[in-house]
Amino acid sequence: MREGLFAVKFVRTATLDEVLRATPEDEPTRDIVSACPDFGVWSFDREDIGKIGAQLPSGTMGTVASLLAEWKEWLRSPDPRVVWSNAVHGAFVQLLRQRESFSVLPIVLGPSMQIHDGRHRLFAAFEVLGERGDDSCVELFWDRVR
């Protein structure tokens, strides 16, 4: 099934409580998620993930596909945030290489699909799905229901 320019697949409806449990414990994030009327769980392949909008710690904006090289370069930088981010990214890459799934789904918002929560997970998924070269998919929350 094609949803606009994306080959995403609707999996099921998600409750607001379910999505709120996946968000960080900060009020601005919870307020943004709470303002969305509906959420669904969607299955995305590598091409779909690559089209999701992202913002790097440097402020650079683009798609996951267009920013992967810069993201990996940043993970090797002297920025003090890299220690934590590199460990998190590496853990997600390892998880996916073992064919496990995320226990907390990433969240994307809007028709243009911008990452709201889950940058580390989505960059890891884009990287690992590229290594596999198969039709594997990753599930995420999106504020869309069929």
- % the chain with pLDDT above 90: 71
Asked whether the predicted pLDDT for residue 30 surpasses 90, the reply is no
- Establish if 2 belongs to a structural domain: no
- Establish if 33 belongs to a structural domain: yes
- Establish if 110 belongs to a structural domain: yes
Confidence of residue 79 (pLDDT cuts 50, 70, 90): very high
Confidence of residue 134 (pLDDT cuts 50, 70, 90): confident
Q: 3-class SS at 14?
A: strand
- Establish if 124 belongs to a structural domain: yes
- Establish if 99 belongs to a structural domain: yes
- Establish if 73 belongs to a structural domain: yes
- Establish if 95 belongs to a structural domain: yes
What pairing do the DSSP bridges indicate for beta strands 39-44 and 138-142?
Answer: antiparallel
pTM: 0.89
Distance CA 15, CA 1 (A): 23
Q: What is the domain count for the chain? A: 1
- Establish if 4 belongs to a structural domain: no
Within 10 A of 69 (CB to CB), how many other CB atoms are there?
9
Stretch 82-106: mean pLDDT? 94
Domain residues for 59?
9-142
Instruction: Give CA separation, 107 vs 44, 72, 80, 114, in Å.
Output: 12, 21, 26, 9
Distance CA 119, CA 31 (A): 19
